[in-house]
Structure 1
């Protein structure tokens, strides 16, 4: 295994397996992670079903099913689009906004081992990661 492959494996293991925040989100909210992702995409403002489907990288029929479920749970609402009565806007309700905020808090919490690094180590890791960020 090359050095780059070894580092990538360690990074993947840390993010995807060692500290599975997605599982914590689903258990906390009682929603699939995909439904939580939909709420997080809607939190900044209403979207049409087509726009939401595009941002979720899925098809409109599946997006409709997801929105139907979120609406039944009281997490989103649908209204007529002001510019085109044939389209609907989907927006989070106050409960949906709270769920999205909870998910964002959980997902942004660093793993304990990362938080325990010294300020110098964190600074060095940040410097290296900035080199990898386009």
Structure 2
């Protein structure tokens, strides 16, 4: 009796990969949006908090979130009124205000991140080599996204 060798999967076209990446990003942000909403945050507010691993200027936040600086002011105002961030003068240039997480903001980011990780179990199941390869591929596709 002859055994048939399963055919190798078809190599996806770049457009197929782009569509799959778009679907993965949409699923990620749907979940992130839901978790942020559970804490009374909008998607942009949640993303702002997640970008504040280090103090950032309002301009830097606006650039990273691809929004107008005037919109960023409103986002930061609302986060500050909830005690999740604070502003402080940049020691190198007193005209610049940096935004920093408060302890409550750090806790909120930790909770959202932990819940996101609990749903992305595939990342935890990857070997160290697979994670390195995955990161290298992401950096190759999106050169400006090297992990910090």
TM over 0.5: yes
The 1:107–1:85 alpha-carbon spacing in structure 2 relative to 1, beyond 3 Å, is same
Which stretches in structure 1 are left out of the alignment for 5+ residues?
Answer: none
TM-score w.r.t. length of structure 2: 0.65
Q: 2:90 aligns with which of 56, 81, 87?
A: 81
Q: Considering only aligned residues, what root-mean-square deviation do their CA atoms show, in Å?
A: 3.1
Larger radius of gyration: 2
Q: 1:48–1:88: 8 Å Cα contact kept in structure 2?
A: yes
Which stretches in structure 2 are left out of the alignment for 5+ residues?
Answer: 1-11, 141-148
In structure 1, C-alpha distance between the alignment counterparts of 2:94 and 2:21, rounded to whole Å: 48
Number of paired residues?
A: 123
TM-score w.r.t. length of structure 1: 0.70
Q: Relative CO higher for 1 or 2, CA cutoff 8 Å, sep ≥ 6?
A: 1
Worse-superposed segment, 91-100 or 5-14: 5-14
Matches within 5 A, 1:1-134: 4=13, 13=23, 16-17=26-27, 20-42=30-52, 44-110=53-119, 130=134, 133=138, 134=140
Shift in Å, 1:87? 1.4
Moved over 2 A (4+): 3-20, 106-112, 129-134
The 1:10–1:75 alpha-carbon spacing in structure 2 relative to 1, beyond 3 Å, is same
